[in-house]
Structure 1
Amino acid sequence: MSLRLALTTLAVAVWAVATPAAAQDNFQTTVRNAILFDVGTQSVLFEKAADELQAPASLAKLMTMAVIFEELRQGRLRLDQEVVISEDAWRRGGAPSRTSSMYAAVNSRVKVQDLMRGVVIQSGNDASIALAEAVSGTEANFIPVMNSRARALGLTRSVFRNSTGLPDPEQRSTAREIARLADHIIRAHPEHYGLYGEREFTWGGIRQQNRNPLLGTYPGADGLKTGYIEEAGFNLAGSAVQNGQRLIVVVMGARSLQERSNEARKLLDWGFRSFELRDLFQENEMIGDVAVFGGSQGTVPVTAGKPVRLLLPRGQSDRVTAQIVYRGPVRAPVRQGAEVGMLRVLRGSQVALEVPVFAAADVGTGTLSQRALQGAWELATGWIRTGTARP
């Protein structure tokens, strides 16, 4: 039996706009690239040229820290571990470099937890290189680790060539992938994310302020990172929480510090003001059924296992539709909790949200006669499923 991509269209009793396309038409930004992302629903609320590859500048340090956080989680690095500041880290990223620096002294020993603050708060290039060396021996050896981790996180287009974000013609990322990276850091590493909200850090008697213009000035702002090189312009990945809702904003290619700050604020204001959260399916609610081949029964009920919610533009309404998309029929036996497909929520033909669905019950292997009957049914009706399938 060949497996086909099957669709089950659900009747969803919700009147609402499931995608911000119409609302987005009423909002504009002056920056070259931007995206606004809701963490709770994993929804994009606004985007402008969000898939264009651009120089990330110091936003590349988000990838550096994503690797460091994972090394800490795996026990390959310790917060109290001391790292020697090499001449290379000092010369290319420290005081002699005349770039953003922690100002760690050459050959000094600095704990990992202090280097992390040097990267996150001070945007220290010396701290970034020193952490790369702590993981891989040299910064050059750290680069494949960055790119491998990026691919594992779903950053398919980003290319990292150093740990600092300093100019390199091959180092590129997109607003969408920077937002995805920020989302990962926030959700996967809450024990370290608080660093991004710290306002200042002093090392070697030199006190430096966090460069994020949202901290302390925008309600609920608690991260993440700024960046600037001449090629990139002024970049920012920021996040804020209001009334339990967390948004991530990424702006790239701003022409000034002021434009970067103003446009990030405008996007956040618009996102918090213009959308409301609606429930589509409750936690563990039976969403529909998926066909089963060779089982003791012909279908299995499915659930998302968690509430399915959408952010909807205020004051607008339209019909939402949903489909269960799966490779099927699913072969028996099926175990409760097994992922069997995807819930796809649409407005018209545009996909607004996709979440995995799971079997809500066990389905054992059917008797010989049941399997024979199902096989005959598959041969007789398979063309119908093929006709409704979508690639």
Structure 2
Amino acid sequence: MKTRQALFLVWAACTALANHGAWAQNNPVLLADVKAPRVLMVEEATGTVLLSRKPDEPFAPGSIAKMMTVETVLDALSRSEISLDTTYPVTEFAWRTGGAPSRTTTMFAALRSNITVRDLLSGVIVQNANDGCIVLAEGLAGSEPAFVTRMNERANTLGLSGSRFGNSTGLPPAESSMTAIDMVRLARHMRTAYPQVLPLYTQADFEWNRIRQRNKNPLLGTIAGVDGFAAGFAEGAGFSLMATAMRGDTRLYLAMSGLASEKERQDEAARLLEWGFNGFTSLTVYGAGNVVGQAVVYGGAAEKVALAPREDVRVYAPTGDLGRLSAQVVYRGPIRAPINRDQEVGRIRIMIGDAVLQEAPVYTSEAVGEGGLASRAKDAVWSLLFSWL
């Protein structure tokens, strides 16, 4: 007989919260008060989303597109296609389009000079150098259009489905677009994949062609804990930002776009990061292997099987709302025997009200063999009686 399955919800007690009822109330930032038309803030360790508004809406990123240029070059370095000592020439196109004559952010690379990949990366990351981007693009791929093709292929590989790049710099007239969720995804990837280059994002300044320039990231040194990544501006899209900051054991990622001015971008970033660090608590709700619920078994030697996560289930929750946390185990059942131990059968959701803060898979804590004839007959009758539900 075919068993009809249904979606089962099992409410689980958040016993780990019993000692957290006396936490002080936080000062919440209401999404309606956030000035950025598009914003996403995520805590790294748990993946908890603290703020989200139109995270999938594309916008022109301006210089934030350079993050993808840097990633494409770092990927080539990781594959040993090039080395940090590889040198590339400064062509007239790179000099005129992104160098001193362009009157844009530049490292003032001299026409027809040769520059190492190491110094070009420093120029791009620290000085936001458009000429450095174009020199890298032409050197690595033969031309900037060929490099852009590679950028977009690389973005697709990384799952940046809402992003498309028109050049290596983010400058008009070529059209580039990114989404807040892609910005955060790219930033998290770069921190994980290329830790050796991260110090450049906090380097105070860089000198090239006897011209020393301070780091162009406006948040460095002004907001505690900020250690990357980039800021941008584009006509029609306003001022944007991709930032990451760490205080203690907590790291936050903040992506914003559509701000009206540099000051508004600066003030909003400072306000939201302060709220993100001070208004939340990191909490282990369930330990790895702790039973969180039971699933109904069909045709088994036991009527139910215990479920548990393999890893700690952690959340980064609003401090003032810890008393409202709840847990829900979701699975499709009843689960037909035989059942193996450590078989993934559902998910546990940690919630505040109707909002899901965190999800994690749950697994069977024990094996359940097939039941005897009487047990299977009883389950068959149950299935027959209730299959219409």
Give the TM-score taking structure 1 as reference length.
0.81
CA gap 1:279/1:202 in 2 versus in 1, 3 angstroms? same
Which residue is 2:326 aligned to? 320
Q: Which amino acid aligns with 2:318?
A: P
1:305-355, Cα deviation, whole Å (9 max, x unpaired):
43221122122331412224579959989686x866544333343322223
CA contact (8 A) 1:290 1:330 kept: no
Can you give the 5+ residue segments of structure 1 that lack an aligned partner in the other structure? none
- Match for 1:244 among 229, 246, 249? 249
Distance in 2 (CA, whole Å) between partners of 1:328 and 1:150 is: 41
- Asked whether 1:228 is paired with 2:233, we answer yes
Q: CA deviation at 1:121?
A: 0.8
Q: Does 1:114 align with 2:119?
A: yes
SS in 2 for 1:128: helix
Per-residue deviation, residues 131-177 of structure 1 (Å, max 9, x unmatched): 22343322212223323332333322222222211124742222232
CA–CA distance in 2 between the matches of 1:81 and 1:379? 74
Aligned CA-pair RMSD = 3.7
* Structure 1 position 229, deviation (Å): 2.7
Q: Please say if 1:140 is aligned against 2:145.
A: yes
Does residue 381 of structure 1 match 2:383?
Answer: yes
User: Relative to 1, partners in 2 of residues 1:240 and 1:319: Cα closer, same or farther, differing over 3 Å?
Assistant: closer
Aligned residues: 379
Other-structure match for 2:178: 173
1:1-391 aligned at under 5 Å gives the runs 6-7=7-8, 9-13=10-14, 14=17, 23-25=28-30, 28-168=33-173, 170-288=175-293, 303-316=308-321, 317-325=323-331, 342-357=347-362, 381=383
Change (3 A) 1:332 1:261: farther
Question: In structure 1, the residue corresponding to 2:324 is in which secondary structure?
Answer: coil
Q: Report the AA paired with residue 163 of structure 2.
A: S
TM-score, reference length from structure 2: 0.81
Unmatched runs of 5 consecutive residues or more in structure 2: 22-26
Cα distance, 1:339–1:144 mapped onto 2, change above 3 Å? farther
Contact kept, 8 Å, 1:288 with 1:324, in 2: the verdict is: no
Distance in 1 between the 2:247 and 2:304 partners?
Answer: 42
* Bigger radius of gyration among the two: 2
The Cα offsets for residues 359-384 of structure 1, whole Å up to 9 and x where unpaired, read as 767x69x78x989x979958963996
Post-superposition shift, 1:56?
Answer: 0.6
CA–CA distance in structure 2, aligned partners of residues 54 and 8 of structure 1: 39
